[in-house]
Chains A and B, each alone.
Chain A
C-alpha cells in the first residue's frame, strides 16, 4: 500500500505560531535596512502623507503668519534670529488594518510535498503581518476576535484572543467554520489582509469579494496552496474525501484526471485574480513549500505601494 500523500494536521498551538511569526517579521527590518540603499523611505512611515499635519515627525520650520496659534511657535528656533518660526509636523494618517485567516478544516491539510500545513503557514503569515503593522503603529483588528487595537504588542493580544477562542470552541464555531470573515464591524477605508485557500464555491467567494468592495475596503488576498493541490500527484485507484463536508470521490485512475484538474484549478485562480484586479485589490498565491518570507515581502511591497521593491527584496532574501 503506497503511503498517503495528504494528511490532516492539527492546529498548532498559537504560541508556536506567534513565535515563528515574530521570527519571520523580525527578519523584515533587517531586510529593510539592507534595502535602504534602494529605497530610502521604506521605513520612514508607510503612510507618511508628505504634507504637514498632525503627526509626530518634524516636517519643516516656516515663518509665523498672522493669526496662527501662539502655542505653535517654536521658540527655540525663533530665538536664533529675528523671525518667528512655526514647527510643522508631518501629517500621518493611521489606518485600521484587519487581518483574517481562514481556520476551517480544509486549511488543516498538509501533503508530503510540503513541510507545513496550510493552516500553520496562514497563521504565521497573519501574525507576521500583524507584527509588522503593529511596529508601524497601525491599528489592527481580527474580525470576530478582536476590535481594532493600536499597540506594540498587538500580535500577542490577537494571538491570545484567538487562542482563547479556539480553546473555547474545540468543536468548531462560526469563526472556525467560516470561509469568509464577518465584515459587519469593518468600516470603510480600512484595509484588510485575508489569508485563505479559497476552495469554497467560486460564486459565493466572488459575491463576498463584491460585498467587501462595496464597503470601500481595500483588501489583500493571500491564496494559500498546498503543492499537492496544484500538482495533483495522485495516481491509480484513489478515493478522495473533503475534510470540510466529508464528500467522497473515487477515481479509478487518478493520474488520468491530473490534466483536467490542474486546468480547473488554474482557472479558479485566474478567475479570482481577474476579479480582484478589477477591484484594485492585491492578490498573491502562496505555496506552502515556498518560504514564508516570500509572501511576506511581496505583501510588504504591496502595502508600501512599491511592487518592484518587493520583488527586489525577495531577490536579496534569496
Chain B
C-alpha cells in the first residue's frame, strides 16, 4: 500500500496565507523589556561596549512562532496519513458475520477495526448491512440496517469467553428471506467449530459473488485444559493447535484477589500439541489458587479456574479416648491436629459416642478420617465407614493399646495384625529402638528423605502375608512394617503401626510425621462436595472469566447455576459462562473446556466456501492531528521558556526575591539540621562509645563511685572512704570490688556503678536539669545514690534545715523522688549482711532514710517497683566516707564522734550492709519474715 497524505478539511489551509502577516506583526512587537528606574543610568551609557538591545524580535524567535502557527493551522486541517483504500466491491446488502467466541479476544481490536473499516465504506457507499455473530445472548437479527445503525450495533459486540454457537447463527441465516447479500464477510477466529458445515451449507443458499473470509492465525494459542492437584504439585494439561514450532511460556497461579502465588515455565517442542506441566507450590498456597493463567494469553482458554472441591482437604478426627484434655500432650489427636492443621480443615468428632459421631463426620464430607487407637467399632459404624472409604475416602488409623487388643482381621485394617504389641526397647528388654529402613516406592512418601533420628519402641505387628510387602509403605530395619495401606473401593485405608502420641515412638515428634501426614492428605480425594450443601441449590454468579481470561464481576445477563452435580458439566451457553459461582468463600468453578475437549483449526473445506481469503486489516489510516497538536504544544512551551529567559527570569533577581526566600529557608534548615547529627554524635560518643579508657575500667569490675565536687579535699575523703569500704568488703565478704572511682555526673556514664556516693558540698553548684535527668534515669534503671549531708554533728538526727540539707533539697528538687522513710527495724537493710539496728558513720546518730516501703494493701505500687525493691535513694547525715576513710598507710583518717572503736566497726558494717543491699536486692528480704516462718513451723 502506498503511503499518502490527505487532509480531511483542506479548506483550513487557506489560513497559512496569513503567516506573512503574522511575520510582519511579530517583527514590529519585540518582547517588552522590564523597565527599571536606575539613577546611575549615565554610568551604563558610558560603558565601552554597552550595546542597546535591538528594537525587534530576533529572527529565530519569529521563525519559531511562525512554525507554531503553521503547525496549528495544519493540525486543524486534519491531515490523515495513509488513507484507507476500498475493501469491498459491488453494491447492495452486506452480510457481516463476526465470530466473537472465546478465541476472538486475542485480536479483538483488529477485528473491530476491520469491521469498522468495512462499515465506514458501506456508509460512504450507502450499502445496507446485516450483522451476525456467533455468540449472542439475544436472537440474531439479520435484518438489513443502515451503516450508521450497524456501527452502533458493532460497538455493542464483545468477545465472549464461551464457544461459538454456530447453530444459532445458522438458524438465523436460514430464516433470512431478504434479497441475497452481494457481499458476505466472515471475520473468523480460524478455529474449527462443530457446526461449521451447517453454516457453510446455509451460506451456500445465497448466490453471492463476493465472499470474503478474514482469517487470523492462532500462533501462541495455549490452553489449559485441566488441572489436578497432585501430591507435590499442580498437574496441568496444556494444549495447543498442531503444526506450531517451539514455544515457551509461563503459567501463573493467582488467588481470588489476583495476587501472584507462583509460576512455572513450560516449553512446547516441535509438533507437540499437549503438554503436562507441574506447578510446584506449598500446599497452603496451592489451596489459595483460584485461577491459573498462561501469561500473555489473551483468551479465556488460557485461564483455568479452580474451586474449593479441588483445594480443601477436610479431615475428620476420631479418638478412642476423650477424657484427657487436661493433659493435651498425652492425647494422640494433639499431634495429629498439629501436623494436619496447617494444610487442612480439621473436623473433630463432637461426640464420644462413635455411633453418632461417625455419621455426622461423614456427613461433612471429609477427604480423610483419622482414627487414633480405636480398636472396635460398632457394626453400624463399621459399615458406614466402609461405605465412605469405598466411595473414595481415606481412612488413616493409628495403633495403640486399644487396637492391639482389638480385632486382628478387619476390613478397615490394611493387614492382618498379630495380637498384642511388640516392645523393642524398654527397661526389661535388650533391644534398641528400631529405625526406619525405607519408604517403599509404592508409597506417597517415596521422595521423603529417610530420617535418622526416629526410633520405634513399640509397634503392632502384621501377620506375615504374601501381599504384606505390597501393602507396606514404610518398613523398619528388621523388615516389619511401620505403615501399611490398602486400597478399598475407590478409597484406601492406611495404618500407622505405632501410636499417634510419643509413647511408642518419637515419630509423632518429628518433622517426618508432618510430612507423611501431609502426603497422605494431599493424595486423598474429596468425597462429594460440601459446597453444594453450604451454598444451596442455586449458585449465584460470583466472578466471571472475561474473554481475556481475567476474573471480573458478572455481567447482568449471567444467570445463576440451577443445579449442581458432583461434576459440573461444561455447558456452553451465554447464560452460564465460565466463572466462579457461589459466594466468596464457597464457590464452584466452571471452565471453558472439558478436559478432553478438542481444539483444531478450521477445516479447509469451510474455508473453501469463501472465494477471497484475507487477513485482518492492520494498516489503518493515521490521523496526524494529535501529533501535530502535541508538536505545537511543545513549541509553545519552548516559546514560553525563551520568553522567560529573555525577560531575565532564573536570574539573580529571582534569587534575591522568591528563590532567595526559599534558599534562605533551605539554608536555615540546613544550618539548623546539620549541627544536630553532630551533636547527637557527640552525645553518642559520651554515652556509648566511651572514648575515655577510664570509662571502660568502670565497666570491667564492680566498683563504687562517688560524685566529684568542687572541693578537692572532700573528693579525697570520698575516695579514701570508698577505698576503706572496698577493703572492708573484700576482706569480709565474697565480693572483691575494684578501686572506687569519681564520676562527673555531667559527662560520665553512670550505669556501671551499683552505688554512687554523693557527699553534699555547699560550694558545688546545683547540677543542671540535664544532669539531674541523667541521675534520674540512673536511679530509675536500678542504680542507687547514697546522699550524705555530713551534718550529723550539727543536726542530731532531726530533719532540720541545715545548709547542707537545704542544698540537698535543691538538688533533689530536680529528681523524681519517691516518698522517703527512715530505715525501720524490719527493713532489709538491717540484715543484708550484718544484723544492724542503726547505721552510724562518723557521727553516731545519723539517721539513714530510704524509699518508704509500699504499704501492704497497695499492690500496684509493689508491681511498679524496679531494681528488685532496692531503694534508689538513700540519705544519711552520718558522714560515712569520713568514717571509712583510710590513708595510704591504712590508718583511719578521722576519729569517730564519739571516739570509739566499736563505733568504727559499726560504721563499716553499715557500709557493708548498704553495699549488699544494693547488690542483692531483696534476697535477704525473706529473712525479715523468719519470725513469722518459725511461728508457722511450730504449728
Binding site for B on A (CB under 8 A): 1-8, 106-107, 109, 112-113, 197, 199, 201, 226, 228-229, 233-244, 247-255, 257, 260-261, 264-265, 268
Contact = CB atoms under 8 A, between A and B. Distances in A.
A5 B36 CA distance: 7
B34 interface: yes
Contact of B41 (A197, A240, A252): A240
A7 B37 contact: yes
A226 B549 CA distance: 75
A84 to B, nearest CB: 64
A104 to B, nearest CB: 9
Contact of B40 (A1, A199, A238, A251): A199
A236 B34 contact: yes
Contacts of B31: 237
B50 interface: yes
B43 A252 contact: no
- Most chain A C-beta atoms within 10 Å of own C-beta, residue among B49, B648, B657: B648
A239 B34 contact: yes
A112 B43 CA distance: 21
Contact of B648 (A113, A199, A229, A237): A237
Contact of B44 (A8, A201, A240, A253): A240
Interface in B618-666: 645-649, 651-654, 656-657
A248 B51 CA distance: 13
B596 interface: no
Nearest to B651: A235
B50 to A, nearest CB: 6
B35 interface: yes
Contact of B45 (A197, A247, A265): A247
Nearest to B657: A3
A257 B50 CA distance: 7
A261 B49 CA distance: 11
B653 A265 contact: no
Nearest to A113: B656
A251 B50 contact: yes
Given A255-B652, A257-B47, A236 B645 contact: yes
12 contacts: A2-B653, A6-B37, A109-B37, A199-B40, A201-B42, A234-B36, A236-B33, A237-B648, A242-B41, A249-B52, A251-B44, A257-B50
Given A236-B648, A255-B648, A260-B49, A199 B39 contact: yes
B657 to A, nearest CB: 7
B34 A238 contact: yes
A250 B653 contact: no
B54 interface: yes
Given A235-B653, A237-B648, A257-B50, A250 B45 contact: no
A1 B34 contact: yes
B584 interface: no
Nearest to B652: A233
B935 interface: no
B565 to A, nearest CB: 80
A34 B442 CA distance: 109
B324 interface: no
B369 to A, nearest CB: 86
B53 interface: yes
Contact of B53 (A109, A112, A226, A251): A251
A297 to B, nearest CB: 26
B643 to A, nearest CB: 10
Contacts of A2: 34, 647-649, 653-654, 657
Given A113-B656, A237-B646, A240-B41, A6 B36 contact: yes
B452 interface: no
B52 A238 contact: no
Contacts of A243: 37, 39
Nearest to B43: A264
A311 to B, nearest CB: 29
A220 to B, nearest CB: 22
B46 interface: yes
Contacts of A255: 648, 651-652
B38 interface: yes
A4 B34 contact: yes
Interface string B23-37: 000000001011111
Nearest to A110: B37
Given A113-B656, A243-B37, A257-B47, A252 B53 contact: yes
Contact of A254 (B42, B54, B645, B648): B648
A239 B35 contact: yes
Given A234-B36, A237-B34, A239-B35, A249 B41 contact: yes
B467 interface: no
A29 B656 CA distance: 37
A4 B648 contact: no
Given A5-B653, A197-B39, A233-B656, 17 more contacts: A3-B657, A106-B39, A109-B38, A113-B656, A234-B648, A237-B646, A241-B35, A242-B38, A242-B39, A244-B39, A247-B41, A247-B42, A247-B45, A249-B41, A250-B53, A254-B648, A264-B43
A248 B654 CA distance: 23
Contacts of B46: 264
Nearest to A226: B39
B243 interface: no
B660 to A, nearest CB: 10
A25 to B, nearest CB: 27
B567 interface: no
- Most chain A C-beta atoms within 10 Å of own C-beta, residue among B40, B48, B647, B657: B40
B38 A240 contact: yes
Nearest to B51: A252
A264 B41 contact: no
Given A2-B648, A260-B47, A260-B49, A265 B40 contact: yes
A229 B40 contact: yes
Nearest to A239: B33
A265 B43 CA distance: 7
Contact of A238 (B33, B50, B51, B645): B33
Contacts of A235: 648, 651-653
Interface in B396-436: none
A148 B711 CA distance: 70
B655 to A, nearest CB: 9
Contacts of A264: 43, 46-47
A228 B37 CA distance: 11
A234 B653 contact: yes
A173 to B, nearest CB: 20
Contacts of A242: 38-39, 41-42
A249 B37 contact: no
A260 B41 contact: no
B38 A199 contact: no
A272 to B, nearest CB: 13
A27 to B, nearest CB: 29
A230 to B, nearest CB: 10
A120 B48 CA distance: 33
Nearest to B655: A233
Contacts of A265: 40, 43
Nearest to B30: A237
B366 to A, nearest CB: 81
Nearest to A242: B41
A69 to B, nearest CB: 60
B48 A260 contact: yes
Contacts of A240: 36-38, 41, 44
- Most chain B C-beta atoms within 10 Å of own C-beta, residue among A239, A244, A261: A239
B73 to A, nearest CB: 29
Contacts of B648: 2, 234-238, 253-255
A247 B44 CA distance: 11
B44 to A, nearest CB: 5
A236 B38 CA distance: 15
B42 A199 contact: yes
B190 to A, nearest CB: 65
A1 B36 CA distance: 12
B651 A236 contact: yes
B50 A241 contact: no
Nearest to B47: A260
